[in-house]
Amino acid sequence: MNETPIKPCLILGIESSCDETAAAVVADGRRILSNIVATQVDVHQVYGGVVPEIASRMHVEAILPVIDQALKQADVALKDIDAIAVTHGPGLVGALLVGLSAAKGLAAVAHKPLIGVHHIAGHMAANYLADKSWDPPYLCLVVSGAHSHLVVVNDYEQFNVIARTRDDAAGEAFDKIARAIGLGYPGGPLLEKAALGGNPHALTFPQTNFADSLDFSFSGLKTAALNQLNRLKQQVELSGEDWTTIVSLRDFAASYQQAIIDVLVARAILAAQTHHMKRLAVAGGVSANRCLRDNLAASAQQAGIEFLCPPLEFCTDNAAMIASAGYYAFENGTNDTFDLNATATLELA
């Protein structure tokens, strides 16, 4: 007797919260059929950072071709899709609105459920794409351009944020100093590259710890690095030489990078121990940093904690992670209405 194969649940994911226009088709929340990302990095590079108005306009140009390509590469038609998941916040409102409007339009014409996904829930779902058997509960260190969170993921849609940054996010800490030392945008990957082969202990930077909280704070570290940089510049002012003749660029970058990583790693391991979590994952753009990944892996192993880190392409913004998070929301019965709006600041519920 021939058994009819069970049709997988197909989610079309759409992401446009910052400077990547992305669409993906994911089966059963775990299997990627397509994952298209159109990046705007080259354009924003000229301005040294993301220009919101330009980002919105570029999303408008890219969104439909990117969605089309995602469907084609997955070899599915819109009618085969079970639901459309889209990032509705947090992010740049004008940028978010482009993806959201496209998702609403497609959901309306094809009579498909619409599912709004929190961008950070998406980043955390990248772990489900990386390891098919990874599931809650676990602790997640979220480190992106705007967030530094420690989240206890109790279930696919149940999050307990146990720590957050009180000022700058880890990604911002990378980006701001990268700009100050002349590396430009995007700061994180450029600073990582500049730090290669550098001495991570050439300079020391202060860490901010709170006695009664696992919260992060990176503004003191950033200010200390700026002060250090100014001191170095003053020392060479009369000679007309470059400050890097005193401390090399790679030693400066390596020391600063290590200072950020030391805080992230120590706090993540302490949080896992305090909250009795035996499994740790990482999410967000900064988790693409090789040094952070290696340091976390080593410290987790030493502490007897299982550690998962998504492949690089799932760490930065993409739509496969949005489709995966959307799948679990869909399974839980989420079906947003067309009133769903783009929101610049959105708490992780």
286 is an interface residue for ligand KG4 by CB under 6 A: yes
Beginning with the edge strand found earlier in the chain, give each strand of the sheet holding 148-155 in spatial order: 158-163, 148-155, 138-143, 279-283, 306-308
| Interface with ligand KG4 (CB under 6 A), residue from 34, 40, 144, 255 | 144
| Interface with ligand KG4 (CB under 6 A), residue from 16, 94, 117, 192 | 192
168 is an interface residue for ligand KG4 by CB under 6 A: no
* Rg of the chain (C-alpha set): 21
Site of tokens 């969605």:
67
316 is an interface residue for ligand KG4 by CB under 6 A: yes
| Interface with ligand KG4 (CB under 6 A), residue from 89, 99, 285, 310 | 285
Q: What is the DSSP letter of 79?
A: G
- How far is CA 50 from each of CA 41, 184, 218, 331, rounded to the nearest angstrom? 8, 12, 21, 35
| Interface with Zn ion (CB under 5 A), residue from 144, 148, 165, 257 | 144
317 is an interface residue for Zn ion by CB under 5 A: yes
Question: Could you tell me which stretch among 29-37, 39-47, 304-312, 315-323 binds Zn ion (CB under 5 A)?
Answer: 315-323
Give SS3 for 23: strand
The nearest distance, CB 227 to ligand KG4, in angstroms, is 22
Would you say 43 or 246 has its CB closer to ligand KG4? Answer: 43
3-state helix, strand, coil in the chain (%, to 5): 45, 20, 35
Residue count, binding to ligand KG4 (CB under 6 A): 21
Binding partner at 174 among ligand KG4, Zn ion, none, C-beta below 5 to 8 Å by kind: ligand KG4
- In angstroms, the first-to-last Cα distance of the chain is 47
Q: How far apart are CA 164 and CA 160, in angstroms?
A: 11
Positions in the binding site for Zn ion (CB under 5 A): 144, 317
- Which residues of this chain interact with ligand KG4, rule CB under 6 A? 18, 119, 123, 144-146, 171, 174-175, 186-189, 192, 284-286, 288-289, 316-317
